[in-house]
Amino acid sequence: MFVRLAEQHRSFVQDLVMNLQALATVLENRGYLASCYTCGGQMNSASFMVSLGDNHLIRFLVSDYGITWTEMRDDRELMKLEGAEAISQLQELADLVKFGIKPSGHTPAVVSH
């Protein structure tokens, strides 16, 4: 049973990483500063970041160790969520893209870690 659960988890993480890469591409095409970096070719972890303007940054991390959503403004953490709550926030971000909300005219620098 545990081997099967471990494999399902790995598959889930890989699906999430692929969707993050696609979301980053769509956001970039819509004028946002966005990136999605993966470690290695196995798609078992990713760091996704997007700037929503006015020094407003979203960082989403996924790996075998967990999932976190961190929202920052002016280099201060506003909100940090984990697990299912983090994925729900990611869905809200995807909905912004889906409904065509445009980024602000100000283009802040991308924060990299």
Reported as a single tens digit per residue, the pLDDT across 11-50 is 999 999 999 999 999 999 989 999 999 987 888 999 999 9
Measured distance CA(10)–CA(33) in Å, rounded:
28
First and final C-alpha spacing in the chain: 38
For residue 101, the model assigns a pLDDT of: 64
Three-state secondary structure call for residue 58: strand
- The answer to pTM > 0.85 is no
Domain assignment present for residue 71? The answer is yes
Three-state secondary structure call for residue 43: coil
The domain tally of the chain equals 1
Domain assignment present for residue 104? The answer is no
Domain assignment present for residue 106? The answer is no
Least confident of 34-48, 49-63, 94-108: 94-108
Domain assignment present for residue 63? The answer is yes
- Domain holding 51, by residue range, is 2-98
What burial class does residue 99 get, using C-beta atoms within 10 Å of its C-beta: 0-12 exposed, 13-18 middle, 19+ buried?
exposed
For residue 12, the model assigns a pLDDT of: 93
Percent of the chain at pLDDT > 90 equals 72
